[in-house]
Structure 1
């Protein structure tokens, strides 16, 4: 997780024309840098930081409190991360950058039910991204016209209570902190290392691990990780393939240690 030196929602007051803090959650460094460049050259916006994986995204939201998070759909195909983000901070606006593989009615409804406020194609031009940020800030909902036909709604909004296909609200059996702990367990970290990263005591981490095992009906840590990947609670780090092509075999489990070591 990398944080900007710019003031965030937590530290700024309410001066006239306060700029919006924008953060990105994307596994690809040059994509994050591109988003940062767009934000920093746009009046009224400032860059609040970035994360490359789900547990770093939750830390970013907790510590920096950006106004808007731009979230790569490849990191949240089932809506679990979106749900944890908006539950942790109801004022946070989540804008999904939708990969071609997720341009479906089912995915958009899952995102809506999880609490996403806006969605636009990940391949959109910079001006479309800026428009989406401004529209979602004003209306708290926005759906790019390129995605609207998928929902059968020509209105530009992700409207709660207007399902387009029969689906169920994403189920996340773990708490926000348990999800972060399990992410780090999946990276092969022991309790002491997890405690250091999440600023928790080792005993607290041990308690979270026990709770994870109970909730997932897992025999041990390895079994819990296996269950979580099979059930979609955890995902493999998405490959950044050219848009329009089908991703290859599953990538390695997410690794966010470089993000933390840089801090």
Structure 2
């Protein structure tokens, strides 16, 4: 795949009945769960699977290159909704559906995810038919809250500010870094030097060096190690489980035959 930044979304393919097929990708670190999503999407009329990503920087690459209509995000993969916010800011037309694990089944997480740009939320344990319906509803209505989670999002808590104004606690998650800086920081955390990061992201070494300097400044970090430590402590980066580990040069996704080359 090329890493061209063409902002035009690929033309949708036609299904067997001549209807437009919505393209779907998954951002999920668990192989068996991704396979299940692939099988579900592939057998659902009107939907077409285009690929997956297993870490944050390849998730951003996938959405830049394949331009899916819908992405399914594991809440454990993005517990602070930083990735959701970056995806939403990068492509306002992208529909983001979050599958919520039990640890994130809280009012705080759900309101933060919706504020960050999520269009649909439902339990990760939902039946396949419910997930397919949620994807369609989120795409058509731009908002879908599973009934089992509705009580957690119905009435966000509100609190007075210092000047007496009432503010919602569901603020957009704070992300001091740009999309590209976030990708660079992810690769720095994986131990890559600037030259290797440049190859992975198809950037010049000088551009990577500029991003690193900006990251250090924004995080008030002394050096790269300090920046990574600060990012993990503040929740900007999250630790990956073993089943999410990939090599830095792993492709973001496997495109369909008529996808980008």
TM-score, normalization: structure 1?
Answer: 0.84
- Give the drift of 1:259: 6.5
Q: How far apart are residue 11 of structure 1 and its match?
A: 2.4
Looking at structure 2, the residues matched to 83 and 43 of structure 1 have their Cα atoms a distance apart, in angstroms, of 29
- Deviation, 1:239, is 7.2
C-alpha distance in 2 between matches for 1:13 and 1:45? 10
Where structure 1 has 5 or more consecutive residues not aligned to the other structure, the ranges are 2-8, 154-161, 241-253
Give the secondary structure class of the aligned counterpart of 1:97.
strand
Which of 200, 203, 215 matches 2:203?
Answer: 200
- Give the superposition deviation at 1:113: 1.1
Give the alignment of 1:191-230 within 5 angstroms.
191-230=194-233
Q: Which runs of 5+ in 2 are unaligned?
A: 2-7, 159-168, 255-261
- Judged with a 3 Å threshold, the aligned counterparts in structure 2 of structure 1 residues 36 and 164 are, in CA distance, closer, same or farther, namely farther
Equivalent residues of 2:58, 2:251 under 8 A apart = no
Number of residue pairs matched by the alignment: 234
User: What is the distance in 2 between the residues matched to 1:13 and 1:122?
Assistant: 27
Aligned residue in 1 for 2:259: none
Q: Is 1:163 equivalent to 2:153 in the alignment?
A: no
Aligned to 2:62: 60
Distance 1:218 1:61, change over 3 A: same
Partner of 2:72: 70
Alignment of 1:1-263 (within 5 A): 10-12=9-11, 17-151=19-153, 153=154, 163-164=156-157, 166-238=169-241, 255-257=245-247, 260=250
Contact 1:71 1:94 in 2 (8 A): yes
Find the aligned partners of 1:239 and 1:261 in 2 and give their Cα distance: 18
How far residue 238 of structure 1 moved from its aligned partner, in angstroms, is 4.5
User: Does the aligned pair in 2 maintain the 1:51–1:259 contact within 8 Å?
Assistant: no
Shift of 1:167: 4.4
Show structure 1 runs of 4+ deviating over 4 A.
13-16
